[in-house]
Amino acid sequence: MQCEYFGVCGSCRHYESGYEGQLSHKVSVVKEMFSPLYAGEIAVCTSPSERYRSRAEFKIYHDDGGIFYAMSRLDRQGALKIERCSIVSPLIASVMEKLLIEISDLGIAHKLFGVDFLASGNGEMTLSMLYHKPLDEEWQTKARELEKRLGVYVIGRSRKQKLILSQDYVTETLRIQGREYRYIHIENSFTQPNPRVNEQMIEWSLAQLDNIGGDLLELYCGAGNFTIPFASKFDAVLATEISKASIHAAKQNMALNNVENIEFVRLSAEEFTQALDGVREFRRLEGLKVSDYRLKTLFVDPPRAGLGEEPCVFASRFDHLLYISCNPETLLRDLEILSKTHTIDAMAAFDQFPYTHHLEMGVKLTKKGSR
């Protein structure tokens, strides 16, 4: 990938050795890191080397009467004005070229401090405009004109204010093992930013779930990114998530894909453990008999903080564990606990964020003596 801002922009920090070089370095680091626990091969899932991000956030910089995109500098000495970005999807790149001109022409640049893009491979995009001022009827009229000119869905945000002019989501299509899955992605909610790597993550995970059967428990399910495809491998799936917006989207995604064997519940991982053990009762579980599920497989995709000691003790009850991690360091900490009761069967590395030090990991574990 060629980028005029390499070495100055703080977004891409590992650029000198090119795509293959940066990936090779990251993989060698995690191989060494996990070698005390796992001696097998680590499958490596690569990313496109450019134009891979379907989600992007940029600062807006005001200077000499003009407005510019800006990113934090690599040396952390303020902001860097940029005109383009080589890692965003072709659709985002196309809109970026026109957006600032149209904003200035319509007179809606005042107090604008950021823009967030969310695109789909289906040609849809939300554009969230972030302001340090309340947004009024005049802004809405001009923003609707911006929607028409650019063919995007505009959302205006300021303190305690969110204005949706048409819709605040896009519909994405993922192609997984020869089948198409459709997902509603809501702006300002978590979505996987690299669609091609996301497809590989799901496909690798599905391969680890072959010939297990029974029922699946998923914690941190989000909007059902993994849940929907996983449903074909199990009799029933019970999936929990703390975000109300994500649970709403997950239920929509289940209907969108004609899947019927998933129960989405808005509970934190800690709350679900309490419910399963009979420590607390939750109105959100009313009508759902958790004890009827044959939960022998657990899937987790936690935040960067990982699981921690108590959730790992809970996870150790299950015969089969599938763990997707966005932080190898907390994954290693958790595996040191889980490896006391489970054997690591397979590991994978997913290059979700090329040219950064980040590398996502996948691990399949089986309880010792349960084979």
C-alpha dihedral sign at 79, 84, 89, 91 = positive
Kindly give the pairing relationship between strand 161-164 and strand 169-176: unpaired
Altogether, the residues listed in the chain come to a count of 371
360 as an active site residue: the answer is yes
Catalytic residue among 45, 85, 312, 326: 326
- Order of strands across the sheet that contains 161-164: 79-82, 66-72, 55-63, 112-119, 125-131, 153-158, 161-164
If we measure between CA atoms, which residue out of 80, 101, 93 comes closest to residue 51? 93
If we measure between CA atoms, which residue out of 196, 259, 213, 254 comes closest to residue 46? 196
CB atoms within 10 A of CB 170: 24
If we measure between CA atoms, which residue out of 347, 327, 354 comes closest to residue 20? 354
Tokens describing residue 205 = 């995970």
CA distances from 48 to 89, 94, 162, 282 (A): 11, 18, 34, 44
Catalytic residue among 50, 218, 241, 360: 360
Residue 345 contacts residue 13 (beta carbons within 8 Å): no
If we measure between CA atoms, which residue out of 93, 37, 72, 116 comes closest to residue 337? 37
Q: Which helix (H) or strand (E) holds 118?
A: strand 112-119
187 as an active site residue: the answer is no
Distance linking the first and last C-alpha atoms of the chain? 46
Cα–Cα distance measured from residue 240 to residue 267, given in angstroms and rounded to the nearest whole number: 6
- Give the active site residues: 326, 360
